[in-house]
Structure 1
Amino acid sequence: MHEDTLRGEAVERAIESVNAPEEREYIENNIMRFFHILRHLGVRISSSETVDAVNALSSIDMLDRLQVETALLATLAKSPEDRVILDRAFEAFFATPEKRAERAEKHRAAREEEAREMQAAEQELKYELEGPGEGETREVSIPLTEEEKKVYCKLPEETKKNLQKYLKKQFQSNPVNNPEDLIASMVRSSLNYWKYYLKQKGDGPPEVDFTGDEEIDGVLQEVVDRLKDEENIFYQDIQKITETDMPTAAALITKLSRKLATRIARRYRHSKKKQRLDLRRTIRHNIRYGGTMFNLQYRTRKVQKPRILLICDVSGSMARYAAFVLQFMYGLSSVIEGIESFIFSEGVERVTGEFGQNRPFETAMADIINRSEDWGRGTDLKRALDVITRDYGRLITGDTFVIIVSDTKTLHSEKAAAILKNMRRKVKDILWLNTLPGRLWNDTGTVSLFKRHSRMFECNTLAHLDKIMRTQMLK
């Protein structure tokens, strides 16, 4: 929908809760610009969806930030990816004046630095060669596009030097002819390779359609940078996440666990009882009738939710992995009441009560670490399983998922495997989250030993953890 159409009655209704005309104009303009930003970030928004969003805004308090974001998410986000982009864009665009000024200054400085790099690249790709006449010289350069220059600026210094030597040699070997176009074609092929390579590494120019508007481009750049940082953290070994990135990682895992909690809470099963219409299955079963709803399909909420027995290795090499898994499970506690948590190294401790007191996870985790006598010591899984099966046998039931977080390296591994084998007969399933990289499994004897009595998954990144929990907990 064109902006002129949006400035009609729909927008007036959307901002009717604001009385002052100048405030109305300001909010209206911001709505337009925000839709513009979403489109430039790749969120597809049709005319009808725009109208839906504006109508939704007309039904809420436009001065309530949470209500506004919720309305936009409900009407514009069609996929999990859209929700992430919209959430980050909303946070960046509807920021305080101080943050806006800081972002504008940062964006301006980045543009100036980019301009200096581009100018330097042009100079580096210019050469002065001997002319056809005695004492004559001529200046030649590579006619590259702006995008190709940006790729060149991102190249490693050693690669730049090698490319410059190659170009100089090519020009000097053709003192009479004008080989610029031919050599430029060769350079473009090389830069296209590097563009792909840098993109895979995450170091290439951001693939976003900038507008030329400094404020909007600043928001776009901030969103792209943040998404890139989050993606890098998502696939990075948890052990290698820096302290600087820990707050971002913690926020990301909180979002992941909340999303899974929502899916668990909303699960349904198919039913012949007329309790709740299953619209998707109804449409699919009635396509043969031209869309007329002859055959209605129903579903009822699944009452049974998984019971979880979490056993985390917190020895020296495992402590950080365990902390992230504990945080993930903490986020599920709102919909899964039966989560029992234990930590172990040389001994074992039950920490379930630490997470049931309606306090921040960080506070609970700090208390556990400070109080624990086992955090960061050696590993004895056999002793931990002995204590759990002996003192907490009531937790080992036919509807219990046992989740073990460990790299399998433990004392008394044979005896631990024997206890695990016996436990496997009594529980619903045993999931082993192995933080050891998959390429090392064949060289680690304890992996095959414990794998016989559990379903083992590689789990050393947030991406691994998210996928395992989504695919296994929703079965």
Structure 2
Amino acid sequence: MQKVLGDFIHALRQAGLPISSAETLDALKAAQLTGIENGPLLRQALGMTLSKRLEHRLIHDQMFDQYFNAYEHLEQSDDPNLSASDKPQPAGRPEAAPATVDNRAAADAAGAINSPLARQLSPLAQQLMGGDMSAMQVMIASAGTGAGAQQITFNTQIPVVTYRVMQALGGSELQQDLAAMAKDDENSALVQLLRQRRTQLQQQIRDYVEQQYLLFNQNEALRLREDKLQKIRLTNIDLSNYKLMGELVRKAAKRLASMHSRRRRMTRRGLLDVRRTIAANAAYDGFLFHTKWKSTRIERPEVIVICDVSGSVSQVARFLLLFLYCLQDVLPRVRSFVFSSEMAEVTELFASKDMDEALADVLKRWGNAPTHYGKALADFEQMALTDIDNKTTVIMLGDARNNNEDGNIPVWQKVYRQSQRVLWLNPEGSLSWDTGDSIMNQYAPYCSHIETCNSLRDLNRILGSELKRNT
């Protein structure tokens, strides 16, 4: 039972249901209480323990029917002494229809089933001659596990796995038996019967493999695509992947927010606060009924983000801004500035518009213009330099390519000295820094840390480290 329910819970997780280890244990206890013979009761019990919302319950019920339809062998394996007609049907599955074979061929072949020739045939041929196609499901499930039916990544692998299952059951030996019997016309009825039932078995195997694919791996191709998009350079993302990338950014930000949403506070541990302890027990003649411990609270810093939205960096800036604004629960005070040559604050724009609409507006109004870091930093000095203090973290996203103009380094030096931390994210690899019109070496002495950032994985890693450091 544990193996069966474990696979079912794995299928639910593959379908997107968030199921914890504690909920898995609750489901196992519920299944032990209800048993697996009563399908509706088992579905209700598992649905109550594994579903958190209505949409999760709907997915659970659908997956339950599909899963136990594929695992017909559950109840059958409980009592091997039961005949095929006496064995209970699996939960959620209607009674299987009898195999449809040609009645005349079956009557002609009935006498040959118990013949000496039949006893010389392969085990699969004898099983098919017995005509119990329901019992074959047990053998199919066992062979399917070994053939990798639960590890299919793409639907194009279904025929290959179907062939492997058939071979594991004895398909080659069955073919040899059919070839040998076809040489004698007296065996024509038996050959016709076996061929028809072999066709039924092949269809049964394919149905089983397709069910396993739908249960366990139908979203595997999407997960592989998402994994590739995590690593690909953001500057290479095309329009067809914007929507999916936006979803990935939001998922990553949500995950980071859940990890760092609680402020770090040391309470009832660490050093004893002697002064506060004596004061709290002054009324008890020096007896220490109440102890006070030193506690610390690390305040979340204000974050100022400066993004170069010129043509070479605009795509990375888009996803960085989206990432940061999805972290508002953790970083509620984020001010955003964008520039190509002129600097502009877009904090209110993001507050008043939908995020995607605001990003499109920013890139349309300020993006794709010639880059001039010197002029942009001069504008920033007028707009926000006085607001930077020792609690401010400044994040600059840019490639430091300044079209051979003055970089206005003194302003960046002031930013570095007034702030708590300055982080520079450069979408170019470190080997490209200081080549051509790049002036990265002039800004580097006035940065707390410089990172190459050109993929969603880099964004996730860098911002996760910053959150761990500051929250």
The TM-score range, normalised by the shorter chain, is 0.5 to 0.7
2:306–2:338: 8 Å Cα contact kept in structure 1? Answer: yes
Structure 1 unmatched ranges of 5 or more: 7-31, 70-88, 97-106, 120-144, 147-209, 275-295
Secondary structure in 2 matching 1:222: coil
Instruction: Find the counterpart in structure 2 of residue 255 from structure 1.
Output: 251
Instruction: Find the counterpart in structure 2 of residue 404 from structure 1.
Output: 396
Aligned partners of 2:21, 2:466: CA distance in 1, in Å?
39
- Identity level (%): 22
Instruction: Find the counterpart in structure 2 of residue 472 from structure 1.
Output: 466
Aligned partners of 1:325, 1:250: CA distance in 2, in Å?
11
Aligned partners of 2:414, 2:348: CA distance in 1, in Å?
27
Instruction: Find the counterpart in structure 2 of residue 50 from structure 1.
Output: 24
Q: 2:378 aligns with which of 386, 395, 398?
A: 386
Instruction: Find the counterpart in structure 2 of residue 451 from structure 1.
Output: 444
Aligned partners of 1:253, 1:301: CA distance in 2, in Å?
32
Residue 317 of structure 1 and its aligned partner are, at CA, apart by 1.1
Instruction: Find the counterpart in structure 2 of residue 85 from structure 1.
Output: none
Instruction: Find the counterpart in structure 1 of residue 227 from structure 2.
Output: 231
Residue 297 of structure 1 and its aligned partner are, at CA, apart by 12
Structure 2 unmatched ranges of 5 or more: 31-45, 67-150, 169-205, 271-290
Aligned partners of 1:36, 1:304: CA distance in 2, in Å?
40
Aligned partners of 1:248, 1:47: CA distance in 2, in Å?
29
Aligned partners of 1:223, 1:297: CA distance in 2, in Å?
53
1:398–1:428: 8 Å Cα contact kept in structure 2? Answer: yes
Secondary structure in 1 matching 2:442: helix
1:364 aligns with 2:354: no
Residue 226 of structure 1 and its aligned partner are, at CA, apart by 1.5
Residue 473 of structure 1 and its aligned partner are, at CA, apart by 2.6
Q: 1:270 aligns with which of 266, 273, 281?
A: 266
Cα gap change, 1:61 to 1:409, in 2 (>3 Å): closer
Aligned partners of 2:215, 2:298: CA distance in 1, in Å?
44
Instruction: Find the counterpart in structure 2 of residue 432 from structure 1.
Output: 424
Q: 2:54 aligns with which of 64, 73, 79?
A: 64
1:397–1:426: 8 Å Cα contact kept in structure 2? Answer: yes
Look up the equivalent residue of 1:52 and give its one-letter code. Answer: D
Deviates more, 1:411-420 or 1:228-237: 411-420
Instruction: Find the counterpart in structure 1 of residue 113 from structure 2.
Output: none
Over residues 105-141 of structure 1, what are the superposed CA-to-partner deviations in whole Å (9 max), with x where a residue is unaligned? xx99x6567648999xxxxxxxxxxxxxxxxxxxxxx
Aligned partners of 2:52, 2:260: CA distance in 1, in Å?
31
Cα gap change, 1:302 to 1:332, in 2 (>3 Å): farther
Look up the equivalent residue of 1:429 and give its one-letter code. Answer: R
Residue 393 of structure 1 and its aligned partner are, at CA, apart by 2.8
Q: TM-score, normalised by structure 2?
A: 0.55
Q: TM-score, normalised by structure 1?
A: 0.54
Look up the equivalent residue of 1:460 and give its one-letter code. Answer: N
Aligned partners of 1:399, 1:95: CA distance in 2, in Å?
56
Look up the equivalent residue of 1:64 and give its one-letter code. Answer: L
Larger radius of gyration: 2
Over residues 214-257 of structure 1, what are the superposed CA-to-partner deviations in whole Å (9 max), with x where a residue is unaligned? 22312433222111111100000011123222211110001111
Cα gap change, 1:300 to 1:380, in 2 (>3 Å): same
Aligned partners of 2:360, 2:310: CA distance in 1, in Å?
16
1:37 aligns with 2:11: yes
2:10–2:216: 8 Å Cα contact kept in structure 1? Answer: no
2:395–2:423: 8 Å Cα contact kept in structure 1? Answer: yes
Aligned partners of 2:426, 2:468: CA distance in 1, in Å?
20
Cα gap change, 1:430 to 1:47, in 2 (>3 Å): closer
1:311–1:343: 8 Å Cα contact kept in structure 2? Answer: yes
Q: 1:318 aligns with which of 313, 318, 324?
A: 313
Secondary structure in 2 matching 1:317: coil
Aligned partners of 1:245, 1:321: CA distance in 2, in Å?
14
Look up the equivalent residue of 1:50 and give its one-letter code. Answer: T
1:308 aligns with 2:298: no
